[in-house]
Structure 1
Amino acid sequence: MYFETIKTPGLSQLSYIIGAGGQAAVIDPRRDCEVYVDKARAEGLEITHIFETHRNEDLISGSPILSEMTGARVYHGPNPAGEVVFAETAREGDCFELGQLRIEVLETPGHTDDHLAFVIHDSEYSEGPVGVFTGDALFVGDVGRTDFYPERKEEVAGLLYDSLQKICRLGDQAIIYPAHGAGSVCGSGMADREFSTVGHERRNNPRLRIFDRDEFIQAKIAEHHYQPPYFRLMERLNLEGADAAPRIMRPRRMGLQQITKSGADHLIDVREPLGYAGGHLPGAMCLPVGMIPAFAGWFITEGETIALVASEEDQLAEAMAHLVRIGFDNIIGGYVGVVPAAAQGAAMRSVPMINTDEVAQRLDQNGGQWTLLDVRDLEERQQTSIDGSEHIYVGELNTRWKELKQDHHYTLMCASGMRASVAAGWLASKGFEHLDIYLGSMGAWKNASG
C-alpha cells in the first residue's frame, strides 16, 4: 500500500494519494495538480479515482484538471446547491476497490450539504476501518464551521453533530485524515498536528466533548467566522470546474518603469512588513507572501490585474502560486529591486512604526485627531482590547475604508503587527497618508502591562 499527504502551504490544505494493486485515488486535489501524477507514476500507480469530500470554499479544486490528465473518474456528494458538472454523485454505502483496500462512502453533511467522508478498509486486517478522510467535518482539535447557511444555522449545526457521531462509530483505532490543518480559515481551534485518531479526538477535541446535541448546536451557532468575498468565486468555480493552472508559475519580469506604469488594478508588495514600512513604491499595498492565502481574497476581485513587488525571484513565484490556487490568475508581472531603486533616487513611500510608550502617550493626550484602530478578529477583540481603541477587522477594510477620514491620523494594531501592516498598506494604497503601525501591537501592550 502507498500513502502520502500533500500539504499546500498558506492555505494549510491537506490532500492525499492512496494506492494499492496498481491503482491510486486522490482525495481533494488542489488546482496545480501535476504533483499527484508525478508521485503516482513514481510508485508505478495509475490514478483511477478522485474523491472530493465537499465543494471547497477556500481554494480551487484540481479534480476536473486531474481527471482530464489521467482519465480518472471524480466522485462528489449530493449537492443541493447545483450539479458539480465534472463529477459523479457518490452516496452513503458506495464502495470502491483499490487492490486490498476498500473505500466506503459516508454522507456527513453539516459543514456543507454535500459533505462526504471516505472510510478506508484493509481486507488483510478486518477488525475495523484503518482510517477515514474526514474533509472539513472533523479536524485535529476542532470540527468544521457551520456558518455557510445562516438561514438554517440550527439545522446544519445539528447535521454536523449527527455526522460526527457517525464518524466516531468507526472506532477509536481509525486514523483521521482531515482536509485542513492549523492556520486554515475553515476552523479556528485546530492543533498543530496533522495526525490523530478517532479515539484521541473523542477524548481531547473540545467539540466532541459536548455530548448533548442541543448544547453542541448552541455552541456552533455562537461561533463567529469571517467569509472573504472570494469564497463565492471558489464555490462557483468548484461547481463549473476551473481551467488548469498556468504552466509557468512565475510572473513575467518587469523593470521599475514598467511596474510603475503598468496600470495594474493592484500593486502588491509581498515583502516582509518591515521592508514595506521602510520603503515601498507609491500606491503599493502590503501583503506578505505568507499572508496571501488568508487575505488576498478580501481585497482582490475576479478579473482584476495584479503586479507584484518582491525581494527575490523565488518570492515572486511563491506569491503567484498562492494567488493561482485561489483563482487570481491575472498577474501581469513582477518586480524585484526596491532597495536599489531607492538608492537611485526613485520615489518611495514609508509607514512609520511606533512603540508602546508612544501609543500610551497618544491615548492619554488624544484630542480627537488620532485613532488607534484594532484590526484583529472579533473573538480576539472580545477577549482583550485596549481602552480607547476602535475596531474594524482587517478584511472588512476592503469596503469599510470608505468610512474612515483620509485627513485623520490612524495607528493600526493587531496581535503582533503583521495584520496591522496589511491594513496600513491597504489604506496607503487608497491614498491615506497619516498612518503608522504599532510594532508588537497587543503582544507588546500585554508585556508592558506586566
Structure 2
Amino acid sequence: MNLHNRLVIVGTGCGAVELAFSARASGWEGPITMIGDDPSQPYQRPPLSKAFLSGDTAEEALHLRSPDAYGNLKIELLTGVTVEGIERTQQQVLTSRGNRISYDHLVLATGGRPRPLPEAEKVGKNLKNLFYLRTKSDADGIKSTFAPGKKIVVIGGGYIGLEVAASAIKTGMKVVVLQRDDRVLSRVAAPELSRFYESYHADAGVNIKTGINIEGLEFSDDNSRVVAVQTVDGERFESDAIVVGIGLIPNSELAADAGLKINDGVVVDTNMRTSDEHISALGDCANYYSELYKRDVRIESVPNAQENARKIAAILCGKPPRPPAAPWFWSDQYDLALKKVGLQEGYDSVVVRGDVGSKSFSIFYMLGNRVLSVDTVNRPVEFNHSKKLVTGRLLVDKAALGDESVALKDIIEASRDDIK
C-alpha cells in the first residue's frame, strides 16, 4: 500500500479514532478522512451507561482525543454526515451532503444499533420516555428522567441493563429490571455470576424479575409516552421511563448494498479485509475467523475494536501486526469492577476462585483443562494473569486453579500449551 494514498474511515467511534491515529503513528502520510453521522466530537461510549449516566463524569471527559488533535495530525473529521453508498468500481463513497469522497482504502467502522423492542415498534412513532442506549444523546435523554421517587423499567438483564439499573437506583429512583430468561446475564455468564449480581442489585433496592415475557405496553392518552408495561402472566409495572437493552444489530447494510459478503456483520478475513481488497471492516460490525477459538466471531467490545484498528493500521503501513490476543470486556456496577477476558461459549465446567458471596472472586470457564474465559470481580491482578491463560490456550490443573493458596502466576508457569 502506498503510504501517500487516501484512507477513508466510515465511523467516528473508538475503533475509527484508534485506526486514524494508529495509521499516522505507523507512517501513513496520505490524507485520512473520518466520516460519522453522530454530530458530536468522537467520544467514549462505555461510560454512557456508567459514570456519565450517574453524573460522575462530565461530557468533556468523554472525548477520545482533544479537539485539536485531529487537525494537528491532518485527520479530516466530518461529523453529522451519513455515508449513503459505496461505489466500489470508482472507489468513492457518497455522503448525505451530496458529495463524493474518493478512497484508496476504505474502512467500515460502522458499529451497531440497539435491537428494538417489538412492542414499541408497533406504535410506529417515537415515544418520549422510551430509550435505547448507544449514543451520548441517548444517555442525555435517560439522565433527564432521573429523579428521586420516579419509576424506571429496564427491559433486558444484560450488562447495559444492569449498569443503567445501578446508575438509576443511586439517584433514588424506583427500578424494575425485566429479564426474559430465567437469570440475568444469561448469555454471557455462568449461573454463579448471575446469582451474585441478582443478589447485589436486590440488596441495593432493584426489583429484578426473571422469566418475564412482555404482553404489551400501556400508553398515555396522546400515545406519546409509556405509562406501564404489562407481562404475559398479568403483572403490571408503572413507568415514568423505559430503557431497553436487548441486544445489538450490526450496521452492515452499507456493506450489503455495496455487494460485500455479509453474515451476522461484514465478513472479513484474518487481516480484516472484506471480499473487496480495498475495503476493511472492524469492531462491532465485523465478523472474522478467530485463530484463538477456531471459529467465526463477531465481538461487541471497545478493546476488540481498538485491537482490530491497530491491526489494520499496521497492515496498511507494511508493518507486522501484534499477535492476536483474547478479547476482553468490563462492567462497572456500584463498587463492583467486573472484567472478563475471552469467550465462554462451549465451556463444560467452571472453577470458582474465592468466595462468590464476597465482592472479590474469579470464575474460570473450562473446556476440559483449558481456560476459555475468565470473569474477575474486583481482582485486577488475577485479570491480568487470566489474559495469559486464555490467550496462551493453556492447560491447567483445575484443583490448583480453585485453590487460593496457589498463586495464579505459579499455575501459569506450571501449565502447558493446548496443542489441539
Normalised by the size of structure 1, how large is the TM-score?
0.25
Structure number having the greater helix percentage: 1
Structure number having the greater strand percentage: 2
Q: Rg bigger for which structure?
A: 1
